[in-house]
Structure 1
Amino acid sequence: MRDEYLKKQARWLSEGQIGRRQFITSAIAAGLAVPTALTLATDVLAATPKSGGKLRFGSSYGSTTDALDPGTSENGMSQSINYARGNHLTEVGKDGKLIPELAAGYEPSNGAKTWVFDLRKGVEFHDGKTMTADDVIATFNYHRDENSKSAAKGLLSAIKEIKKDGDNRVIFELEGGNADFPYIVSDYHIMIMPSVDGKIEDPNSPIGTGGYIVESYEAGVRTLMKRNPNFFKEGHAHFDEVEFITLADTTARQNAIMNGDVDFIDNVDPKTVSLLGRVPILEILQTTGTQHYTFPMRVNAAPFDNYDLRMALKYAIKRQELVDKILLGHGEAGNDVPVNASMPFFNTELPVHEFDAEKAAEHYKKSGHSGAIQLSVSDAAFPGAVDAAQLIAASAKEAGIEIELVREPSDGYWSNVWNKKPWSACYWSGRPTQDWMYASAYTADTEWNDTAWKTGESADKFNDLVVMARSETDEDKRKEQYWEAQRLLQDDGGAIVGMWANFIHAHSKTLAHDEHVAANWQADGGKLAERWWFS
């Protein structure tokens, strides 16, 4: 009875119906001690969203080659910017569940081959234009175009036709059933853009429907935004201004948060977690999701076009050592598939790829290779990537394999090195479903297939299985298909998934957030600017 009474009083306090003094008086009357009542009042008010202030977000990502085109977004900085200035048909909520965003609702039919999305009415772009079905269709067609370079092109390859039923209903016809399609349309590349005569005229336009309007944009340096007064989401986008600042250097990022020059930083180096945690003005926020650190080998380039060479390297890595020394325990060892136990249909019977000098040497000898193998690396890939590469080189040496580290510049790493050099370091934030993860980075039709594993008996079978599992409604059959897909990928593919890493952030204690913090991406699912506030 007392708990219900206090909950009601707390709700009234958070909604402004009563003041702090009245709340404390009521709490004391209900039997709470004065110190407890004071603390409870402080906690309630801190958890109540307030408007105002300027958020300064220090990001480890960002490159001078970045652009506002959502289709080319390839790092955490551009992702957060897109989420702040735009919206999608659906979104992954703070609790990890999928919810409608620009869509008011959605329904499947015809064995999940047909999906109908009803759009929210009255949503405006920053220039005052009302969003309609035409904008949604034009946005998807922009990514689907045969000449498109969008990273979402592969995700949308199964769409056969898109049509509208009035201004506020969009109908997607797919080649085959896809129960995960509502997840796909939440992909951060598919930000709904304003169209003109049925086409996206300028994908680099800053205009969106999001909570913040772009005031200035300097690629890979900083972006300044102001609150959108006409944002359609009530109770979101609390800051007056948001500034995204690229701080690629780990030390610079750490100093900025310690000195109060920024309010939030991502990718805290595990080595400095304890140090930052002792700073009185800071809090450490750690979330566990699907982020993993990889070393993709492009199988269309020598020497990685050799199966035994790839297997030699997979067995030449001490993965737990990477977790212990690079993540300092803030994660777990990888097993060369982008799937872990947090995802549906995880294959628990896969062989464990752990360090085995004898097996590595055996495969290396069968490969016929000799001489140094180059590994391109930069800490732009992930915190500690260079140190991780050094550990890999040291363990490979025990198996008689020589690895030469090529230290690449941080700026331009994602456009000049990743997905181009034969072997490099990489990070993936992961995806909520296997189909989405595969369609993002492993199927033959995606631009982001950074291993180039697209042809050959195993790759062909893998691609067929992904399509089959996508439309399979029998859970047991779907499990068999996904288990076999993982087996093929782990054995023949070019991905070395070294470790699964927790998201580690540091922020000023003046920042507040909901009790739920999303872990599908870093920084509260990439939506910190929309979801947080100053207490």
Structure 2
Amino acid sequence: MRRTRITWLASVLAAVLAAVAIAGCGGSGSDGTDTDVGMGADGGETTAAPASSGGAITVGAAQGIPQLNPAIRTFAWEEVLFPLVWNGLSKVTESGAVEPDLAERWEASADQRTWTFTLRSGVRFHDGTPVTAASVVSVFDYYTDRDTPTQEANKLAPIAKVTARGDDTVVFQLRTANALFPSAITNVKILDTRSLGTIDKRPVGTGPYTVAEFLPDDSVRLVRNPDYFGDPAPLDEIRLVKTSDPTAAVNSLRSGDLNVLWSMPASDAAQFEGDTAVKLLKPELPSQWPSWEMDATSPPFDDPKARQAVAYATDREAILEAAYFGQGLLAPTNNALATDNPAYGGDLQEYPYDLEMAKRLFAEAGVRAGDKLIWWGTAGANPEWQTSGEILQASLKEIGIELEIQNNEVSKWADKFYPAGKKFPGMIVPNFQSTPPEPAYSLNFYLKGRCECNWDSPEFEAAYRAAVAEPDESARQELWGRVQEIINREVPLIVPLQATVVSAQTADVAGAWVEGGGQLHLENAGLAG
């Protein structure tokens, strides 16, 4: 077996969860990237605004936006509103750095369990109410309330107490050390909790745009907030519309009826490569990854050798080309982190396409010629899963193992394995995760009770906690290598590649960008001068 040891020290790039198959099981639902810890980071970079200001753009997506509460988002497309209508204490930039947003600076205690944030002065909600430390405490109390069904719950679980110190200081007490805490809360948006009852009619945030009109699951019209605390929004208006027909949406982009199209089907992206009228928007570091889940507590996949066998039987190159139309990066070590991720490293074994190795490992795990496994997919959705299943099916057939493809309505598909703790013996369940490239908020998917694969490794849990608690970046990188070695050896699930979520814009638009998981940023978008 070939082994590789790689540790990358490049800059961390941005990401957040993008598309989720169903709320809570399609991704971590969290944002987070590396940050300068305990340095009181203030100032920082911003994406350059377009040369001109004013005007309006129309942005299309196959999904609609059903509701406007950022705490309980249902679908990935709702996240387009996050930097437009709201701000957090911290935010992720286009380069992947985490910098202050509503906070002016922060600092951590030596044990990384007490974090103190100082707020910007003069910030007001859209209705003119001042944003104070008490406002922020109210928001975190709401997000951490057990009755609030937020996808941020996993990230906020370490918070023991949040208190206001005067009007401009917020103090967080954590149950466990977290040297990356500012990265954990970028998706906690500061809203006026007093207006929760009317949030779908007139959400009250602090962002550069306000909601002027909202038709659930159809459209949202945003207008510039003239009292925004930062640089004025470049555009007068942004209209977000649902475009259910992919072909019609692509034609609308070509004609100029749409200025931006989010999450274009990979099969359509190739036609725009090199196009001067339409520019593809791709993350520099893709961090949406297919995750084929197997029940690690039921035979045959309770034996790591059976899971390793599937890894060797996975023709990653064929899947990337046929199922994802080349839009992505191979994952040769079965890693959720891309090979050019700054945190990628450790003594990692590659899993090349090797059916003889797969056959031997299957036999050692008690799976032999004539045995049957099930591919538990979805009907009428996720065509890349169908193609991936067919490629794996053909590979396993070569070594005498039958893979029966069973496609189901989405709710039936999810009910088989979600939430974590359900038994699904003999099944391979295709899914995907949209996570940041920061390992604390991508590899946390493997924690006990989080991954539907039911993997439980005290060794991994201890290594993960040690990495999260380490304030020194170089030492933390070494610890992340150890975490990846455990995952690499145990193969809790199959990661064939990192998929690229491709969006597109017309040539007259500038300033838009996407994170690794596909989240579209329009806060600096405008019409090119």
Say if 1:379 and 1:386, in contact at 8 Å, map to a contact too: no
Q: For 1:200 and 1:58, how far apart are their aligned partners in 2?
A: 27
Aligned pairs (5 A) from 1:431-450: 431-439=436-444, 441-444=445-448, 446=450, 449-450=451-452
CA distance in 2, matches of 1:200, 1:460: 40
Preserved CA contact (<8 Å) 1:76 1:526: no
Partner of 2:59: 57
In 2: Cα distance, 1:336 partner to 1:179 partner? 27
The answer to whether the Cα contact below 8 Å between 2:511 and 2:525 also exists between their aligned partners in 1 is yes
Residue 203 to residue 225, structure 1, CA distance change in 2 (3 Å): closer
Query: Which amino acid in the other structure matches residue 322 of structure 2?
Result: K
Q: Secondary structure at the match of 1:244?
A: strand
- Which one has the bigger strand percentage? 2
Task: Quote the residue 1:101 is aligned against.
Answer: 101
Q: 1:355 deviation in Å?
A: 1.8
Contact 1:377 1:389 in 2 (8 A): no
**Structure 2 unmatched runs, 5+:** 1-47
**Who is 2:486 aligned against?**
488
Q: Secondary structure at the match of 2:212?
A: strand
Aligned mate of 1:361, from 359, 362, 377: 359
Q: What residue identity is the alignment partner of 2:526? A: W
**Normalised TM-score (structure 1):** 0.77
Matching residue of 1:89: 89
8 Å CA contact retained: 2:377, 2:385: no
Q: Cα–Cα, structure 1 residues 414 and 282, in superposed 2: closer, same or farther, change >3 Å?
A: farther
Q: Distance in 2 between matches of 1:94 and 1:276?
A: 23
Kindly indicate whether residue 22 of structure 2 is the aligned counterpart of residue 48 of structure 1: no
What corresponds to 1:185 in structure 2? 185
Q: Does 1:299 align with 2:304?
A: no
The verdict on how the C-alpha distance between 1:311 and 1:165 changes in structure 2, with shifts beyond 3 A counting, is: same
Q: In 2, distance between residues paired with 1:513 and 1:349? A: 40
Q: Which amino acid aligns with 1:283?
A: K
Once residues 502 and 248 of structure 1 are traced to their aligned partners in structure 2, the CA distance between those partners, rounded to angstroms, is 21
CA deviations on 1:178-218 (whole Å, 9 max, x unpaired) are 221111111x2x1112134xx97677673322222223444
Judged with a 3 Å threshold, the aligned counterparts in structure 2 of structure 1 residues 296 and 494 are, in CA distance, closer, same or farther, namely farther
After superposition, the CA RMSD in angstroms is: 3.3
1:453-501 Cα shifts (integer Å, max 9, x gaps): 3x3xxx2221221111111245565344322221222333533211123
State yes or no: 1:323 paired with 2:320. Answer: yes
Q: CA 1:212–1:130 in 2, change beyond 3 Å: closer, same or farther?
A: same
Partner of 2:28: none
Q: Deviation per CA, 1:315-347: give whole Å up to 9, x if none.
A: 221012222333444432113322124434322
Query: 1:473–1:202: structure 2 CA closer, same or farther, 3 Å change rule?
Result: same
Q: Within 2, Cα distance between the matches of 1:476 and 1:317? A: 33
Q: Which structure 2 residues correspond to residues 144-223 of structure 1 after superposition, within 5 A?
A: 144-186=144-186, 188=187, 190-196=188-194, 206-223=203-220
* Partner in structure 1 of residue 434 of structure 2: 429
After TM superposition, give the deviation of residue 368 of structure 1 in Å.
4.2
For 1:426 and 1:249, locate their aligned partners in 2 and report how far apart those are by CA, in whole Å.
23
Q: 1-side partners of 2:271 and 2:498: how far apart?
A: 23
- Measured in 1, the distance between the counterparts of 2:49 and 2:189 equals 32
* Corresponding residue SS for 1:337: coil
C-alpha offsets along residues 15-52 of structure 1, whole Å, 9 cap, x if unaligned?
xxxxxxxxxxxxxxxxxxxxxxxxxxxxxx99413122
Per-residue CA deviations over 1:509-532 (Å, capped at 9, x if unaligned) read 111227xx454443xx5322x111
Distance across 1 between alignment mates of 2:269 and 2:237 = 28
Letter in 1 for 2:440: D
TM-score (ref. length: structure 2): 0.78
Q: For 1:228 and 1:379, how far apart are their aligned partners in 2?
A: 41
| Equivalences for residues 311-460 of structure 1 within 5 A | 311-334=308-331, 335-368=333-366, 370-377=371-378, 381=382, 384-408=384-408, 419=418, 423-439=428-444, 441-444=445-448, 446=450, 449-453=451-455, 455=456, 459-460=457-458
